[in-house]
């Protein structure tokens, strides 16, 4: 009996140590990033990670706003990601409602078709989509970033999984009372599917916040740049000012970290429910 009490404790020390070392290795790049972002320009590239005689230059963060319109990039990114998230939530939840709560003929075949589009490489549709954007005169607009992303098969799939787990008895009694599909959708299903909606919302927001390929193709003028595109051009132009770049990088990943810390629980549940992606 004595063994069973000491064994886990000893194991726990080792385990904690191993886990801490591993997380340390994974976090090291971020530490270097933050430290470099507060170095004086003359000390960038020194072997010492910590700012030296010139002191900690917190003003680098203000200098970023002088060098590039960082606030504008951030605003564009957040604006696009928010719109996409809103639209995806509406289109996916309505489609998922149709696929789980209304028994229309041919429903399952159509759903299968939806699933099939999930395995289509995005690159196949990118080239024609760009031609469509040219014809709709949406190249170099933020609208052109939002519209093609406004519905995803993945979102429909994820919310369908969530809605299948809501017992049908809830809405059947409502439909006995003569409630329309629209009011069942708004008043019963949406509130019950809230965890699913939050999960999908976070996924969509973050992946669009990081989105790179499509904005890179679409955006031409600096005022329209989203953060990833702005950072890319800043890196090319900045040359030796690594400290400013690191300050910009730090500020750009901060929102992602905050969102993650706030919504961790939903995200992890969503990943385990819906497979991969995100």
Partner 1 sequence: MSVSASKKRRALISGLAFLTPNIICVGLFTIFPVFFSIGMAFTNWDLTQHNMFKDVPLRFVGFDNFVELFRNLYFWQYLGNTLFLMIGIPFAMAGSLGAALLLNQNARSILRRGGLLLLATVGLTGACLLLVTLGMAASATVILVVSVAVAVLMTGTVGGSMVYRTLFYMPHFTAGVATFLLWKKMYDPLTGPINQALNPVLSGLEPMVLAAPDRTFSWLAIALVLVIGWLAMSWIGKMRGECADGDLGPAAFVLCVLLLLAPLLFLGFRAMPRYLWFPLSVGAVLITLFHAGRFLWSERMRARGPWEGAGGALLLTGGLLTLSLILFGLSLVSHHLPAMAAEGLDPPRWLVAYHWAKPALMIMAFWGAIGSNNMLLYLAALSNVPQDLMEAADIDGAGAIQKFWYVTWPQLAPTTFFILTMSVIIGLQGGFEMARAMTEGGPAGATTTLSYYIYSEGFETGRLGYASAVAWIMFIMVFSITIVNWKFGSRYVND
Query: Which residues ranging from 24 to 43 are in contact with partner 1 (CB under 8 A)?
Result: 24, 26-33, 35-36
Q: Does 53 bind partner 1 (CB under 8 A)?
A: no
CA-based nearest residue to 115, from 74, 148, 157: 157
Does position 82 interact with partner 1 (CB under 8 A)? The reply is no
Is the CB of residue 272 less than 8 Å from the CB of residue 196?
A: no
How many CB atoms neighbour CB 76 within 10 A?
Answer: 22
Residue 132 in the binding site for partner 1 (CB under 8 A) = yes
Segment near partner 1 (CB under 8 A), from 60-68, 165-173, 192-200, 226-234? Answer: 226-234
Q: Which is nearer to partner 1, 21 or 62 (CB)?
A: 21
15 binds partner 1 (CB under 8 A): yes
Q: What share of the chain is helix, strand, coil (3-state, %, to 5)?
A: 75, 0, 25
Under 8 Å between Cβ of 225 and 68 = no
Q: Is 90 in the site for partner 1 (CB under 8 A)?
A: yes
> Which stretch in 78-86, 160-168, 171-179, 227-235 sits in contact with partner 1 by CB under 8 A?
227-235
The 3-class SS string of 159-228 reads: HHHHHHCCCHHHHHHHHHCCCCHHHHHHHHHHHHCHHHHHHHHHHHHHHHHCCCHHHHHHCCCHHHCCHH
Residue span 232-261 as binding mask against partner 1, x where in contact by CB under 8 A, dash where not: x--x------x--xx--x--xx--xx--xx
- Piece of the chain touching partner 1 by CB under 8 A; list 20-28, 65-73, 170-178, 193-201: 20-28
Within 195-214, which residues bind partner 1 (CB under 8 A)?
Answer: 206, 209-210, 212-213
């Amino acid at each position: 009996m004595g063994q069973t009490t000491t064994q886990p404790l000893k194991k726990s020390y080792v385990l904690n140590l191993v886990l801490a070392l591993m997380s340390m290795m994974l976090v090291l790049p971020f530490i270097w990033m933050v430290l470099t972002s507060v170095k004086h320009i003359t000390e960038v590239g020194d072997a010492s990670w910590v700012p030296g005689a010139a002191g900690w230059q917190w003003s680098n963060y203000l200098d970023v706003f002088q060098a590039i319109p960082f606030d504008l990039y951030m605003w564009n990114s957040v604006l696009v990601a928010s719109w996409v998230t809103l639209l995806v939530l509406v289109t996916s939840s309505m489609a998922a409602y149709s696929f789980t709560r209304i028994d229309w003929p041919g429903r399952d075949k159509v759903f299968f078709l939806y699933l099939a589009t999930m395995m289509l490489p995005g690159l196949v549709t990118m080239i024609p989509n760009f031609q469509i954007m040219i014809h709709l005169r949406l190249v170099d607009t933020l609208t052109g970033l939002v519209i093609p992303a406004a519905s995803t098969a993945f979102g429909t799939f994820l919310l369908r999984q969530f809605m299948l787990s809501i017992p049908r008895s809830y809405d059947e009694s409502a439909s006995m009372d003569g409630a329309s599909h629209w009011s069942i959708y708004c008043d019963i299903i949406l509130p019950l599917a809230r965890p699913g909606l939050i999960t999908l919302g976070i996924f969509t927001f973050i992946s669009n916040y990081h989105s790179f390929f499509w904005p890179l193709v679409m955006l031409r003028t600096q005022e329209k740049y989203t953060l990833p595109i702005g950072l890319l051009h800043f890196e090319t132009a900045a040359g030796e000012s690594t400290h400013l770049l690191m300050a910009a990088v730090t500020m750009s990943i901060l929102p992602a970290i905050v969102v993650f810390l706030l919504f961790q629980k939903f995200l992890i549940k969503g990943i385990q429910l819906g497979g991969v992606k995100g």
